[in-house]
Amino acid sequence: QEQLVESGGGSGQSGGSLRLSCAAFGFPYRPPCMGWFREAPGQAREGVAAIYTNGRIDYADSVKGRFIISQESAGVVINLEVTRLTPEDTAMYYCAADYGGARFNHALEVSEYSYWGQGTQVTVSS
């Protein structure tokens, strides 16, 4: 019954910004760890950012200083503000969650998460 629904994707040009959101439905409580991942064409899914209930945040090196993850409504909604976009940011962005919480220093690994959304597409032109 648990469901994650992403929104906010779209097309933009280099240097632009987008705001992605993930809404959680059917979870009995806020999963200890929630995050954003992305999958570019022909590439493996990779972690972008993660946020824990205690406020800890992890970012991939490729997005540090450009992407900001946050939560609202006690974690029912998590957001990802993406700025200074580049064509390399083009990918399907997925929201993920796990009841158990990711292992320390492993929050950006796909294997740490049990629940996934369907994704929202971000396309960045030069």
Calpha distance 87→51 (Å, rounded): 25
Task: Provide the pLDDT for residue 11.
Answer: 96
Task: Provide the pLDDT for residue 29.
Answer: 86
Give the count of beta carbons closer than 10 Å to the beta carbon of residue 43: 9
Residues 106-126 as b or e (16 or more Cβ within 10 Å = b): ebbeeebbebbbebbebebee
Task: Provide the pLDDT for residue 80.
Answer: 98
14, two tokens: 């280099």
Task: Provide the pLDDT for residue 96.
Answer: 97
Task: Provide the pLDDT for residue 37.
Answer: 98
Task: Provide the pLDDT for residue 105.
Answer: 82
Per DSSP, what are the bridge partners of residue 97? 34, 115
Q: How many residues does the chain have?
A: 126
Q: How many CA atoms lie within 13 A of 65 on its CB side?
A: 2
The answer to whether the beta carbons of residues 114 and 51 sit under 8 Å apart is no
The answer to whether the beta carbons of residues 115 and 4 sit under 8 Å apart is yes
Please list the pLDDT of the chain residue by residue as tens digits (126 residues): 899 999 999 999 999 999 999 999 999 888 889 999 999 999 999 999 999 888 899 999 999 999 999 998 777 899 999 999 999 999 999 999 998 767 778 899 999 999 999 999 999 998
| Nearest to 30, CA basis, from 14, 5, 64, 53 | 53
